[in-house]
Amino acid sequence: MTVAPFARRWVSVIPRIPGSLILFWLLLALLGPVLAPFAPGEVVSRTVFAPISAHHLLGTDYLGRDVLSRLLCGTGSTVLLCAATTVLACTGGVFLGIIAALKQGLTDTLLSRFMDGVISIPSLLSALVAVAAFGSSVPVLVLAMSLIYMPGSYRTCRMLALSIVRRDFVLAAQMRGEKSGYIVLREVLPNMTGPVMADVGLRFIYAVRLLSNLSFLGVGLQPPLTDLGSLTRENLLGLVYGAPAVIAPALTIAVLTVGLNLALDSYKGKAG
Amino acid sequence: MARHGIMQPPPLISVQNLQLTGRRGRGLETPIVDGVSFDVAEKEMLALIGESGSGKTSVALALMGYARRGCRIAGGKIRVAGYDVTEMPPAELRSFRGKTIAYIAQNAGAAFNPALPLMDQVIEPALLHHVMPRQVAIERAIFLFELMALPSPGTIGARYSHELSGGQLQRLMAAMALITGPEVVIFDEPTTALDVTTQIEVLEAFRTVRREEGFTGVYVTHDLAVVAQMADRAVVLKNGVVQEEGTTEQILSAPRHAYTQALLAANTPQVRNAPTQATDSGTVVPVLDVRDLVVGYGGTGPDGRPRHTILSDVSLPVMPGETMGIIGESGCGKSTLIRAIAGIQPWTSGGITFEGEALAPRIEARSAAQRRHLQLVAQNADLVLNPAMSVGDTLRRVLTFNGDAANGAEIGRLLDMVRLPSALADRFPPELSGGQKQRVNLARALAARPRLVLCDEITAALDTVVAAAILDLMMELKRELGIAWLFVTHDLHALRSVCDRVAVLYAGHRVEFTPISALEEAPHHPYTRRLENSVPEMRADWLTDVISLRDQGSEPVPALSSSRGAGCCYAARCPVRIAICEVATPPVWRSPAGALISCHLTSQDLS
């Protein structure tokens, strides 16, 4: 119950983090290629897996390319691709989930069974099928990953909404004759922002993981595009040398996902 | 009461200058309880009286060395049965709670685990604290069940919480608290959530068990009539400060402090309503006319009636500008009736007309004008306002939806109508008090400019003083706007003070329909009389009188045969039933005073 003063100060800083952290990653994603000291594809050194030096801040990779430059470009694609996926998956999931809770009956059954169907196929497998059928391009990856992660978001939101749609203020809106869109956006959604935000954070992690997995298998983003997963994979050999080339992208994935989740978890809506 | 012995023993509970503070979010610590001191002698029952927010529960919990989340005991001394509660380490506190001091909470339904048989839970404190072996604990539990007049005390422990009524659970919870034979028992509003008829049984059970067990008690409540029955002395709290302390008699008959006087005034029934001369003479079209409404579930049987009926042939005409009261205990179907009228509960047969036009059973099929002119104000203001929408936005939406001007002035006017400052428009519901929320709830209904407002127990969750203010407000609005109200309640005081006519519901039947003027004059349906007698009065021997009256009256009644079906719905509980009650549906007749009574007995029999 009693919290030490320094801890209290630290706790009070947390709510301000989400906005600035998201902004930081987005800026990095957009400005990364500009900030990069070298062209990402250019072989700039004769030493492979070079350690940290003043010239190459994060050393060089398995071909002697500058790791920092490649990392700056790779972060951009991972962040943007996964953000797009998360936005699509969660928008669909939130909307359909609340609609299902609101309408119940046949709408709920049809939607839920469809989502169950999608969720029952392992995510990596469906992604591989999608890539095999439509080829590996950015739109295919984003759409496939959105479809894969929508059911999870849908189920979470449906459960959250189920307890809210039974409350009297939703009934009051229905009795007034409000349209479903209004009820979803104004009456139900604002009362579940906190858990939805936490869920968004989870979906983002999943997306980063799936994209990294795909890249690791070589069917994700294709060269010359690169992302954090493929950077880790291509430099895997550097592990035995302790090269920053493999540690840096892996660490970036960790910082990105864990940090964003901590930040989103601390988000509290108006209803608190 | 008998505190003036020659050698006064030291008090069993002694609270000196208690300070409790609380913190909301990351805000500053604010005092919740400020400098409260009182003593409780051994075997005495002390009442802590106050409204919500007065700190009475916080004080009671502090006696157990407990402070709610975000709160802490900031200062003062609490001594209970020789222990210094504020100094005790957690391990000692754990054995102190349950062994020496026990707590009976308001909502027994939520206190029991629905997945475990009740006996296991009742004897758990005894086993946990190693007070007695299991077999002894079970015997003691059965003894306590008997003492508290629970049905079939030997086997009730094998049942689960959902199989028992609220009143029975409350008594079981008392047994759970008493199983270890604690020296001090804290009662925290244990009968507030119960019907008046059930409350009598529970209060009587508490009194019996206290007589037998002889514990020291602290009784937390806002109901002064209950205090009169249960407590020897009382402490009146407001905003965490003691206003007055004295014997129960003195507090209730000659209160010295202005706040106690105000509390007493709010508890005393008063007529707020100037009765409208509404009659169903046929010249005026009723604003709402419910005809032979049947509501049920479980599908329809071969006779065209539902397999399980909630409402049986209920008729209810409401005249324009009239306040119609509906009263009955929980489960009598009063909320179902409101829901059917509001269009969220389909019905099997019968019909409802609103301003002369038939109402569709489903809200979706009703016209915009009908939806607008018939408004529902629900009981629980916490659930009925969107916590994420400001008060102003909530009202604005109703106005724009109905195509009215929705400027700040109009919202200010609505808030003013329910006596709230217009600055409240920017606030969110979680920041408001219970009374304020209920006013906003009313304002939202009024924003639609209704002709009839359905009020479902709108004062049930509020403090007496706040509830009295809401009732006053209702009556003012009735005079100013000519709105008709349908007022559902289980509180006879509230009903008397605002209604023009009253329908008494029992088990889905309208057993009596009476103008308020006739409510004071005999004859009445036996159930109406029982309801009237169950309302606690502020004299100390009221409970004793009611119980003895009940015990006398229950002798000459013929035994009830098992075949139910036709016959009077009240036969099973009726103290004056005759043989025919079980087989024939009672006729409806009009008493000299104008009450419509459905009973086999005649006017003379019932007088």
* pLDDT value, residue A2: 45
Angle at B108 between CA B106 and CA B113, to 5 degrees: 140
- Per-residue model confidence as pLDDT tens digits over A56-65: 888 888 888 8
CATH number of the domain that residue B213 is part of? 3.40.50.300
Model confidence band, residue B118 (pLDDT cutoffs 50, 70, 90): very high
* pLDDT value, residue A270: 43
B251 and B297 inside one domain: no
Give chain A positions within 8 Å (CB) of B360. Answer: none
* pLDDT value, residue B236: 92
Model confidence band, residue A7 (pLDDT cutoffs 50, 70, 90): low
A1·B344 Cβ contact <8 A: no
A169 touches chain B (CB under 8 A): yes
B23 touches chain A (CB under 8 A): no
B463 and B552 inside one domain: no
B388·A269 Cβ contact <8 A: yes
B545 and B406 inside one domain: no
* pLDDT value, residue A3: 46
More confident residue, B192 or B238: B238
* pLDDT value, residue B324: 93
- From the list A11, A178, A271, which residue is nearest B388 (CB)? A271
Task: Determine contact, residues B85/B74, Cβ cutoff 8 Å.
Answer: no
Model confidence band, residue B44 (pLDDT cutoffs 50, 70, 90): very high
Residue B2 CA to residue A159 CA, distance in Å, equals 58
Burial of B110 (0-12, 13-18, 19+ CB in 10 A): exposed
My answer on whether omega of the bond before A244 falls inside 30° of 0, hence cis, is no
- Residue after which a domain boundary falls, among B441, B476, B496: B496
* pLDDT value, residue B2: 47
Residue A144 CA to residue A131 CA, distance in Å, equals 8
Give the up-direction half-sphere exposure of residue B359: CA atoms within 13 A in the CB hemisphere: 32
Q: What's the mean pLDDT when you consider all of chain B?
A: 85
More confident residue, B64 or B406: B64
Residue B504 inside a domain? The answer is: no
* pLDDT value, residue A271: 40
More confident residue, B3 or B510: B510
| Among A16, A56, A20, A17, residue whose Cα is nearest residue A36 | A56
How many domains is chain B partitioned into structurally?
3
B69·A8 Cβ contact <8 A: no
- Per-residue model confidence as pLDDT tens digits over A127-154: 999 999 998 888 999 999 999 999 999 9
Q: What is the DSSP letter of B80?
A: E
- Per-residue model confidence as pLDDT tens digits over B244-282: 999 998 988 888 888 888 888 877 777 777 666 555 455
A190·B386 Cβ contact <8 A: yes
Q: What is the DSSP letter of A240?
A: G
* pLDDT value, residue B25: 65
* pLDDT value, residue A154: 95
B343·A2 Cβ contact <8 A: no
Show the tokens assigned to B30.
């604010």
Burial of B187 (0-12, 13-18, 19+ CB in 10 A): buried
A177·B388 Cβ contact <8 A: no
Q: Name A186's Cβ contacts closer than 8 Å, sequence gap at least 6.
A: B386, B389, B397
Model confidence band, residue A15 (pLDDT cutoffs 50, 70, 90): low
- Least trusted range by pLDDT, from A106-110, B58-62, B464-468, B551-555: B551-555
- From the list A1, A8, A272, which residue is nearest B72 (CB)? A1
B466 and B563 inside one domain: no
| B361-379 per-residue burial string, b: 16 or more CB within 10 A, e: under 16 | bebeebeeebbbbbbbbbb
Helix residue ranges, H only, B333-433: 334-342, 368-373, 381-384, 391-401, 408-417
Model confidence band, residue B593 (pLDDT cutoffs 50, 70, 90): confident
Residue B527 inside a domain? The answer is: no
A175·B444 Cβ contact <8 A: no
Residue B145 inside a domain? The answer is: yes
- What is the average per-residue pLDDT within A197-202? 88
Show the tokens assigned to B423.
């600055």
B423 and B549 inside one domain: no
End-to-end CA, chain A: 19
A16 touches chain B (CB under 8 A): no
Give the DSSP H or E segment for B503.
Answer: strand B501-506
From its phi and psi, is residue A186 left (phi > 0), alpha (psi between -120 and 50) or beta? alpha
Which chain B residue is nearest to residue A164, measuring alpha carbons?
Answer: B383
B371·A169 Cβ contact <8 A: no
B364 and B440 inside one domain: yes
Give chain A positions within 8 Å (CB) of B376. Answer: 172, 175
B335 and B424 inside one domain: yes
- Per-residue model confidence as pLDDT tens digits over B505-540: 998 899 999 998 888 887 889 899 888 888 888 888
Which chain A residue is nearest to residue B343, measuring alpha carbons?
Answer: A175
| Distance from the B43 Cα atom to the nearest Cα atom in chain A, whole angstroms | 35
B256 and B297 inside one domain: no
B316 and B260 inside one domain: no
Residue B541 CA to residue B248 CA, distance in Å, equals 12
Residue B497 CA to residue B507 CA, distance in Å, equals 25
Per the listing, tokens 């909630």 go with B310
Residue B1 above 50 pLDDT? no
B398·A174 Cβ contact <8 A: no
List the domains of chain A with CATH numbers.
31-46+54-265 (1.10.3720.10)
Task: Determine contact, residues B597/B512, Cβ cutoff 8 Å.
Answer: yes
- Residue after which a domain boundary falls, among B451, B474, B496: B496
* pLDDT value, residue A167: 87
Residue B69 CA to residue B74 CA, distance in Å, equals 14
Per the listing, tokens 């709160």 go with B71
B477 and B428 inside one domain: yes
Residue B138 CA to residue B592 CA, distance in Å, equals 56
Show the tokens assigned to A183.
């009820």
Task: Determine contact, residues B515/B496, Cβ cutoff 8 Å.
Answer: no
Residue B76 CA to residue B19 CA, distance in Å, equals 6
Give chain A positions within 8 Å (CB) of B344. Answer: 171, 175
A271·B343 Cβ contact <8 A: no
Q: Name A202's Cβ contacts closer than 8 Å, sequence gap at least 6.
A: A152, A261
Residue B516 inside a domain? The answer is: no
Give chain A positions within 8 Å (CB) of B21. Answer: none
B109 and B78 inside one domain: yes
Give chain A positions within 8 Å (CB) of B74. Answer: none
Does the CA dihedral A119-A121-A125-A129 come out positive or negative?
negative
Residue B554 above 70 pLDDT? no
B348 and B254 inside one domain: no
Residue B274 inside a domain? The answer is: no
- Least trusted range by pLDDT, from A112-121, B367-376, B544-553, B566-575: B544-553
Burial of B501 (0-12, 13-18, 19+ CB in 10 A): buried
Residue B4 inside a domain? The answer is: no
- What is the average per-residue pLDDT within B32-54? 89
Strands B306-318 vs B288-300: parallel, antiparallel or unpaired: antiparallel
Which residues span the domain enclosing B262?
Answer: 13-267
Q: Name A230's Cβ contacts closer than 8 Å, sequence gap at least 6.
A: A74, A212, A215, A216, A218, A220, A221, A223
B200 touches chain A (CB under 8 A): no
B384·A172 Cβ contact <8 A: yes
- Residue after which a domain boundary falls, among B446, B472, B496: B496
To probe the interface with B, which of A8, A98, A171 has the most B CB atoms within 10 Å?
A171
Residue B511 inside a domain? The answer is: no
Residue B1 inside a domain? The answer is: no
- B460 in helix, strand or coil? coil
Task: Say how many C-beta atoms besides its own lie within 10 A of residue B82's C-beta.
Answer: 9
